[in-house]
Amino acid sequence: MAKRPSRPIHRVPLTSREALLFEAGIKLGGIFHQYLGIPVSPRTAGALARSIESAVGLQPFVERVRVRIAPRRGGPLGRGRFGYCYVTAEMIDARVTLADKGTRVVARLSYRADLRYPLMRVESAKNARATKRRSAI
């Protein structure tokens, strides 16, 4: 069994909640910057979303991921051989749940039309224990 090495990841003591907030940011920042530009259509959007979920699900601390890609938010499709589109910021809605030792953080990336911005925000952060400690690798 892969036993955890004892060296801490971070160079300062962080609560589980703080460490998970950092990790949640990593996941959302990564999703945004990895998948823009992939060809997508209404027919392939579901499988693409599943493949993003599988990829993010491999990363440390991830308990759950739910991704939706809405190709129609990219505006009207072209015609004929241009009748598909590329993933844009407007299309992506991703929610990640990270957990560690009883603490659980939920964060979300979704496009805010009012801000014209792909906003990443924390939806919940439940801290099981308040004690500070160094998290180990």
- State which of positions 28-87 bind a copy of itself (CB under 8 A): 28-34, 36-41, 44, 47-48, 50-51, 54-56, 58-61, 75-86
The least distance separating a copy of itself from the CB of residue 38, rounded to whole angstroms, comes to 5
- CA–CA separation, 86 vs 75, rounded Å? 11
- CA–CA separation, 79 vs 69, rounded Å? 20
The least distance separating a copy of itself from the CB of residue 113, rounded to whole angstroms, comes to 11
Question: Could you say whether residue 137 binds a copy of itself (CB under 8 A)?
Answer: yes
Question: Could you say whether residue 18 binds a copy of itself (CB under 8 A)?
Answer: yes
How big is the site for a copy of itself, counted in residues (CB under 8 A)?
71
- How close are the terminal C-alpha atoms of the chain, in Å? 15
The least distance separating a copy of itself from the CB of residue 114, rounded to whole angstroms, comes to 9
The least distance separating a copy of itself from the CB of residue 101, rounded to whole angstroms, comes to 13
- Which residues lie closer than 8 Å to 71 by C-beta, 6 or more apart? 40, 41, 42, 45, 77, 84, 85, 91
- CA–CA separation, 92 vs 36, rounded Å? 9
Interface residue with a copy of itself, options 66, 70, 73, 88 (CB under 8 A):
88
Beta bridge partners of 14: 133
Question: Could you say whether residue 118 binds a copy of itself (CB under 8 A)?
Answer: yes
